[in-house]
Amino acid sequence: MQFLLWVLAIYLGATLLRRAVTWLLRGVAGPREQGASAVGGTPETAKIASRRLVRDPVCGVHVAEDRAIALAEESGVVHFCSTACRDQYTASGKKFAAHG
């Protein structure tokens, strides 16, 4: 029984400590971070939150679509993480898996 009381006391103490640290750090967060956590933030924060990731077919790295290097092909647009991956893709005769 004493063991269960200790477990409960530790759990409650950790919960209170986590809430206290969160409350203290709330004032440290910058305005951009606070705006992103607010409900119904600005359109700019919504744009940042809805950033789409694309996969590099050569190395498999996921990159934000607005930062990826795009290459137009007959089948569509292929995105790369770097110019080296793009050059390797174009130089290679075989096709890489775009989504697998």
pLDDT for 45-58, tens place per residue? 555 555 788 888 88
pLDDT of residue 17: 93
Q: Where are any strands of DSSP class E within 11-66?
A: 53-55, 62-64
Mean pLDDT of the chain: 77
- Tell me how crowded residue 48 is: count the other CB atoms within 10 A of its CB: 13
Instruction: Report residue 61 as tokens.
Output: 């790295």
Q: CA dist 34 to 48, 50, 84, Å?
A: 13, 17, 38
Question: Tokens 């409650």 — which residue?
Answer: 12
pLDDT of residue 41: 53
pLDDT for 32-83, tens place per residue? 555 444 445 555 555 555 578 888 888 888 888 888 888 888 888 888 898 8
Is the per-residue pLDDT at 13 higher than 90? yes
Model-level pTM greater than 0.75? Answer: no
CA 95/CA 58 separation, integer angstroms: 9
- Which residues does residue 77 pair with via DSSP β-bridges, in sequence order? 72
Residue 72's SS3 state is: strand
The ranges assigned to domains in the chain are 2-48, 51-91
